[in-house]
A and B are shown apart, each in its own frame.
Chain A
């Protein structure tokens, strides 16, 4: 009797499972995946590189770079050269102060126009006039705010970027990097253009992918969870949409909104090609996402935990959002890292056709395009092609490798696919 008890005790003490459950934390799927990902050296290097690129892109206005759109035709096609740092950054702080002051002086007038616009019982003509007046004032005010920056050679900047440029001016003064990556046909600094282009390219890739994600996940989830004829019908729609050549649709829409009579109005409301691009790309790239998500949901909804939830009376909405959605995380994350490079490539492709980002803004696609355009049999400006290509190639390379690594980490069964 005692011998048995003793034996049991000794077993209990040595058996690892016998420890109190409270001091043993289970690892979640995500933690497991992160552990596996950390062991993948290529994926971790890619991750580090991407974080670095993202941080540099965010902090670009703060770096001692030349302004990306400062034209110095006298220095055109200057090959890459030193010095590392040179004096040359010009920013007229007096002009900025006076322009800001004029913009503030304009404020009462803007307020008056706003009040007039929202006044009750306006005749149609008066309303139209008030709207035009308001638009004119706002445009003028925006122009004043940007003027000093535009003169220095910056594209239109948001409030955050303007603050950073001010900070940069305070920190580095007139020091800036020399033309380390050469200059283009208008004498603009390529190094700076690559940094500023990265900002645009990354934002475009990220936002457009998120839009496509939102549409795709919702659509796929509804289709997969509903099942039956709803699923059939929804997937047939996807099949048909797959056969529409979307490049064509995108070009069509972008040409229309770039027409002069539309452009001014749309731009006033902040809708330019980039915004349209987000929406249109989001509207295209959701197709694959919805298929992938649907497949996943189809298999998930027959899992015992969904059945259990249903048995205790959880509503369909709660099942979808609380129990199924979190399980889609891994597949969505993997798809995200693989879609961003495709979107960036697509933006580059449109920029190549002259339908992407518009000057004075730059993107990597636009830069590479400018490089290709000045190839002549007489003279080859290799730095105009090489450096932007390196930037695109490196980033997309890292994104692809990270995507592959994530996929292996989340689902070891899929390794080598």
Chain B
């Protein structure tokens, strides 16, 4: 167990380093830079700017300097916003993460319920209907879902406010739109997993000894059926917690997602790198958690 955790931690460091290196050289290999924008700066000012952000140094030097920053967990000043990248993340991540967790929780609940109902009532009209809705959820872009739900819930029924951040009502629509595609995928995966488990021997035994159908499904089948769902949700968590640019833009939410796009458009190396690394670290951690969950859900699986 300790050995397993230790090895995974080492791999995480290696992955982070590899992602850092790939991103660093990718950013710097493309001509132009954060200060070669639409309006030409005075050469002196540009030079000063470049000196401030070490852009006047050679590429290997810059690489080592930035690597040092990452090791100290201080990403430095954003090149366009004039305040530390750490602060941008500290401000934006909680907002995106709160919205993301809500979306995930609802996606998980709705998806798993739909999946199990669908599997138990296999072949019935309920099953077909639920899976058609799930496919629709996967097929529609989330800005379309957002657009239609704004039309219906905000303008037509007038139940909810259109956009903004601060009150609980303002959280409902964005988290539904963010969670919808995940709920749809979870439903399909949960259904498959459940069908798989329901045909196994221990379920027949459980039924044979006279347990109620509800107990058979919830207590004996569900844990194993959750395995594929968990392995799908692990990587999805990283994406959902770092925010969706689309949903955050439509609902005017000051999360990280929008910075993700802006830092790339403005070529803000510092902020971009900080966001990339946060994302990678989250992704890796989530995959790690998924592996830990496996053996909790299915004791036959060992940590390797």
Question: What residues of chain A have their CB less than 8 Å away from a CB belonging to chain B?
Answer: 239-240, 243-245, 247-249, 251-253, 255-256, 259-260, 341, 345, 348-349, 352-353, 365, 368-369, 371-372, 375, 377, 380, 382, 385-386, 389, 392-393, 396-397, 399-401, 404, 416-417
Residues of B within 8 A of A369 (CB): 143
Decide: A385 and B148 in contact? CB cutoff 8 A: yes
Decide: B276 and A244 in contact? CB cutoff 8 A: yes
Q: Considering the complex, which residues of chain B in the window 100-150 have a beta carbon less than 8 Å from any beta carbon of chain A?
A: 122, 135-136, 138-141, 143-144, 146-148, 150
Q: Residue on B with the closest CB to A249? A: B26
A247 to chain B, nearest CB (A): 7
In-complex Cβ contact of A377 among B122, B155, B242, B265 (8 A): B155
Decide: A251 and B265 in contact? CB cutoff 8 A: yes
Stretch at the interface among B15-23, B72-80, B86-94: B15-23
Greatest chain A CB density within 10 A among B18, B31, B139, B249 is at B139
Decide: A247 and B30 in contact? CB cutoff 8 A: no
In-complex Cβ contact of B276 among A248, A256, A352 (8 A): A248
A41 to chain B, nearest CB (A): 11
Residues of B within 8 A of A253 (CB): 30
A282 to chain B, nearest CB (A): 17
Complex: A206 Cα to B138 Cα, angstroms: 19
B46 to chain A, nearest CB (A): 16
Residues of A within 8 A of B246 (CB): 349, 352-353
* Number of chain B residues whose Cβ lies closer than 8 Å to a Cβ of chain A: 47
Complex: A304 Cα to B247 Cα, angstroms: 52
B284 at interface by CB-CB < 8 Å? yes
Complex: A377 Cα to B148 Cα, angstroms: 14
Residues of B within 8 A of A396 (CB): 139-140
Decide: A392 and B148 in contact? CB cutoff 8 A: no
A-B contact count (CB 8 A): 117
Question: What residues of chain B have their CB less than 8 Å away from a CB belonging to chain A?
Answer: 15, 18-19, 22-23, 26-27, 30-32, 38, 122, 135-136, 138-141, 143-144, 146-148, 150-151, 155, 162, 191-192, 195, 242, 245-246, 249-250, 260-261, 264-265, 267, 272, 275-276, 279-280, 283-284
Complex: A244 Cα to B27 Cα, angstroms: 13
Which 10 pairs of residues, A with B, have the shortest CB-CB distance?
A: A396-B139, A251-B264, A389-B144, A252-B264, A397-B139, A385-B147, A372-B147, A240-B18, A348-B141, A417-B192
Complex: A377 Cα to B140 Cα, angstroms: 24
A-B contact pairs, 13 of them (CB 8 A): A244-B22, A244-B280, A245-B275, A245-B279, A248-B264, A248-B272, A252-B272, A368-B141, A372-B146, A389-B147, A401-B135, A416-B122, A416-B195
Q: A377-B162, A416-B191 are in contact. Are A252 and B267 (CB under 8 A)?
A: yes
In-complex Cβ contact of A393 among B31, B139, B146, B279 (8 A): B139
Complex: A244 Cα to B273 Cα, angstroms: 11
A26 to chain B, nearest CB (A): 31
Residues of B within 8 A of A240 (CB): 15, 18-19, 22
